[in-house]
Amino acid sequence: MSGENVKLFVGNLPLDATHDELNKLFAPYGEINTCSLLRQYAFVTLKGEGAADRAIRHLDGKEYRGRPLVVEESRARPPNSTKVFVGNLSATCSADDLHGLFSTFGRVLDCDKVKARLCSNVGYAFVHMERKEDAVTAIEALNGTTFKGRQLAVELSKTHGMVPVCVA
């Protein structure tokens, strides 16, 4: 058996999911090397030949505590990915919500949702899409539409790592 490590993205987890639950969920598929649990998603690194493929095959789309899991191989964002700014987000909007919304237009590589600071309950996010054409289509379709009760501002990101400052 190979010692290959494969990092998996695990999305759409319940807010109160625990490391123990994830360990129990993934243990049947291979040795768990690392498990990083974040808010409603996690990264699990499995060791062993075929372990990640088995986990994806059996767990992706499987209902877990009333929610369909998203389990896929985690890939580093390619340098040519397209970064989309999404503004005027509802405080109730999660990265998983955005992933689902933008996935209808193409492959979403990552969603970085930034919580609003004390000045407002409006947030923003950066959605990283694999293909620029898909990002442009998503922008044209979603800019100005209402999502979770707020009118979205969606555009190609003009920043590279800079964070907008909260203005009163």
- Residues 119-158: tens digit of each pLDDT: 456 677 889 999 999 999 999 999 999 999 999 999 987 6
What does pTM read for this prediction?
0.50
Find out if CATH 3.30.70.330 is the number for domain 5-73. Answer: yes
Q: Where are the domains of the chain?
A: 5-73, 82-156
The pLDDT score that the predictor gives to residue 110 is 84
Q: 82-156: same fold as 5-73? A: yes
Q: Both tokens of residue 71? A: 């389990």
Confidence of residue 166 (pLDDT cuts 50, 70, 90): very low
Pick the CATH number of 82-156 from 3.30.465.10, 3.30.70.330, 3.40.1160.10, 3.90.730.10: 3.30.70.330
For position 77, what pLDDT does the model report?
61
- Of the pLDDT bands very low, low, confident and very high (cuts 50, 70, 90), residue 162 is very low
- Whether 156 and 137 have beta carbons less than 8 Å apart is answered as no
Residues 114, 123: contact at Cβ < 8 Å? yes
Task: Tell me the range of 4-13, 16-25, 117-126 where mean pLDDT is highest.
Answer: 16-25
Q: How far apart are CA 42 and CA 17, in angstroms?
A: 10
